[in-house]
Amino acid sequence: MSTPDSRPLEDTTIGIFLAPAGTEEVEFIESRDAVTDAGATVDVLGSESGEGQTVNNDLEESERYEVDRTFDEASADDYDALVVPGGTVGADTLRTDADGVELLQEHLTDGKPAGVICHGPWTLIEADAVEGRTLTSYHSLESDIRNAGGEWVDEEVVVDDGLVTSRNPDDLEAFCETIVDEFAARTS
């Protein structure tokens, strides 16, 4: 029998973004598993139906994962929290998807939490969700974040009003622990 705290995301629905190709597999899998293990129901959200091709180290094809709903089928009202993994190509693709950007923008405008790692903040920039916030990312996004009005810091994990960000796969342990804690605190 589990204790009440062992599944802090019970009765929580989380959407995790997956590009058609190029999402970093470890960032996708570990984030998804962390919130699922904490009791959340997870929908994989993508630009198109079918499967998304993940990668390892940005260049090596890895596993394919089924998209549960497309961005145009989803609504910010459907999710208590969102997760946007990185991967250079995947993040670049996601930031050009108007429906995905709009979903993230509406979600954050509604004051709901999100976890974004590595190159994922490109989608935050497109969603006009960076100005006045402090966040971290893969180091090459520092100028992009500052140009969008945000403050970039080089830290393992940063929380700014429900937005959890991390730099890269090396930060996944802290990122996953923090998204579970932050999502639980903001959805209970």
3-state secondary structure of 30: helix
Phi, psi of 51 (to 5 degrees): -120, 150
Contact 19, 47 (CB under 8 A): yes
Triad 88, 145, 160: Cα angle to 5°: 105
Name the catalytic one among 107, 118, 139, 176.
118
Tokens of 62: 């890895």
**Phi and psi at residue 29, in whole multiples of 5°?**
-65, -50
CB 52 within 8 A of CB 20: yes
Which amino acid type is present at position 166? S
118 catalytic, yes or no? yes
Location of structure tokens 């974004």: 116
- Residue 107 known to be catalytic: no
Catalogue the E-assigned strands of 28-180: 41-46, 51-56, 60-66, 69-70, 81-84, 114-117, 134-135, 151-152, 157-160, 163-166
Closest CA to 32 of 188, 172, 187, 182: 172
List the catalytic residues.
118-119
